[in-house]
């Protein structure tokens, strides 16, 4: 049996690209603090086109002022200097920015941030994955996490604080965010 991950990967890539494009093309005031109103409506429309029966409007993953620092797609790796694919979208915000669940769901993966006792995720540091009715959202490089595996969370609920843990290239904290639309493995 051969595993094919490509269909869910393509959908994930399309949604992350749509989110990046929507934020990139949104008016400046929306992209820096008010993105919930315009940008997420655009992303919600993309979600409706792909899966109209699961069209719950997502919440933006950062409370307050924020800015886009790295888009989804091929970019120069900050670690190797060579072209590499970046599977998420990165945002920065002022220190202490709250990270919120984009939709209601259940926490399925939780790596506490490194603190001398916990090592954190080797790449993502403080890391959370939430399973929703139509996909999985991922939040990485968190300095603080407020949830644990098995916990139910609501859309807009604070799940952590933006940080600089794991494998990061900058000195400023950021959120690496992904949304995988209906991820899964299809057997051929």
The DSSP letter of residue 89 is E
pLDDT of residue 171: 76
pLDDT of residue 79: 81
pLDDT of residue 184: 64
Check the CA dihedral 131-133-135-187 and report its sign.
positive
CB under 8 Å to 173, separation ≥6 — which residues?
92, 93, 95, 97, 141, 143, 162, 163, 164
Tokens 């006792």 — which residue? 117
pTM (predicted TM-score): 0.67
pLDDT of residue 116: 80
d(CA 182, CA 134): 5
Whether the CB-CB separation of 55 and 43 falls below 8 Å is answered with no
Q: Which domains does the chain have, with CATH numbers?
A: 3-187 (2.70.70.10)
Q: What is the mean pLDDT of each run of 10 residues along the chain (188 residues)?
A: 42 43 38 40 39 59 90 85 89 92 96 88 94 93 96 96 88 89 60
């Amino acid at each position: 049996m051969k595993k094919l991950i490509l269909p869910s990967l393509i959908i994930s890539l399309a949604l992350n690209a749509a989110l990046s494009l929507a934020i990139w093309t949104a008016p400046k005031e929306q992209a820096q603090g008010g993105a919930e109103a315009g940008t997420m409506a655009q992303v919600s429309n993309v979600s409706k086109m792909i899966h109209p029966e699961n069209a719950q409007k997502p919440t933006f993953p950062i409370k307050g002022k924020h800015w886009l620092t790295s888009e989804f797609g091929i970019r120069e790796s900050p670690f190797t200097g060579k072209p590499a694919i970046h599977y998420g979208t990165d945002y920065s915000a002022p220190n202490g920015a709250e990270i919120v669940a984009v939709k209601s769901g259940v926490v399925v993966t939780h790596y506490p941030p490194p603190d001398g006792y916990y090592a954190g995720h080797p790449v993502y540091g403080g890391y959370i994955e939430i399973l929703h009715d139509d996909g999985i959202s991922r939040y990485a490089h968190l300095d603080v996490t407020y949830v644990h595996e098995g916990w139910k969370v609501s859309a807009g609920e604070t799940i952590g604080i933006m940080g600089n843990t794991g494998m990061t290239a900058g000195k400023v904290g950021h959120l690496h965010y992904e949304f995988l639309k209906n991820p899964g493995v299809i057997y051929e």
